[in-house]
Amino acid sequence: MFISRGRNFIFLHTPKTAGTSVSLSLARDMRPDDIMIGGWTDACRHRIPYNAFALGVALRSPLRCTTSTLKNVVRHGRFAPRCSFVNNQIKHHFRSRHGFVAEAHTPAEIVRRFDPELWARAFKFTFVRNPWSHAVSHYEWCCRKTLPTVGFREFLLRQQDPDRPDPEKVRPMTVSNWPIYTIDDVIAADFIGRFETIDEDLAALSARLGFEVSIGTIAAKTGVRNKAKPVAAYYDEECVEIVRRLYRQEIEAFSFEVPFGCVEMAGR
């Protein structure tokens, strides 16, 4: 999630659509009062400094901020609070004070309530992804610590049935990204790019914003999924249909289709 009052835009961050990389690109020219929720550990890795807003939120807990800074000095020689501390403080601030229940991935309706005046005038944008590809990426991320204990079908079944036991706690907070960029089932974003055409869509977005947004040199949260394993290898007919039900609204809104055929599935 990235909110810029000075540059008059709101980036609605959908999970597993290269959203963290987009946020970091936006943060490379961050204004003092810009708000980035999530992504600060990756920002530090890319040498993006804290802005005034981030430090201000961190200093709301002066003792903990001081302790975090001293640890950072001892371990890394850097006189600043640790990235993980700043990241967690900002998430906690927006969750506890402003109701951002999903933090970086909070639904549009809650973001609108946070600043109605900004929402009314700001340019709002987001990214979507083919659901069958998104489901695999979401699975690999949520289950990265439990693989292969929780299989892909079981992961989908736990999303389909909220009452199904989830002892490993891999059920994600959000399934479809639909609520993040819609209000009352109406799309609220002014621009929706696609993960599959992200470079072209970022170029169009850059023209609209008036500055370059590019993720060519940023690779946040990569290396989780084994890209040598094709998306089709995760699926059988049952899993295809579960995803169709879980992502029904996005599939209808954007005319998404299964990105592989029966032959590819049969070769699993």
Average pLDDT for the chain: 93
Q: Which helix (H) or strand (E) is 194 found in, with range?
A: strand 191-194
Write down the pLDDT at residue 224.
59
Asked if pLDDT for residue 263 goes beyond 70, the answer is: no
pTM of the model: 0.92
Structure-block tokens of residue 99: 């109701």
Taken in order 20, 142, 95, 41, the sign of the CA dihedral is negative
* Helix, strand or coil, per DSSP, at residue 87: helix
Tens-digit pLDDT profile for residues 235-246? 999 999 999 999
In the chain, the percentage of residues whose pLDDT exceeds 90 is 85
Tens-digit pLDDT profile for residues 183-228? 999 999 999 999 999 999 999 999 999 999 999 877 665 555 667 7
* Residue 236 to residue 205: CA distance in whole angstroms: 37
Q: What is the DSSP secondary structure assignment for residue 2, as one 8-state letter?
A: E
Tens-digit pLDDT profile for residues 166-185? 999 999 988 899 999 999 99
81: which residues sit within 8 A by CB, 6+ positions away?
A: 50, 55, 58, 65, 68, 69, 72
Asked if pLDDT for residue 254 goes beyond 80, the answer is: yes
Asked if pLDDT for residue 130 goes beyond 70, the answer is: yes
* Residue 88 to residue 86: CA distance in whole angstroms: 6
CB 5 within 8 A of CB 202: no
* Residue 156 to residue 171: CA distance in whole angstroms: 9
Write down the pLDDT at residue 219.
63
Tens-digit pLDDT profile for residues 30-61? 999 999 999 999 999 999 999 999 999 999 99
Write down the pLDDT at residue 262.
63
Delimit the domains of the chain by residue range: 1-129+177-223, 130-176+226-268
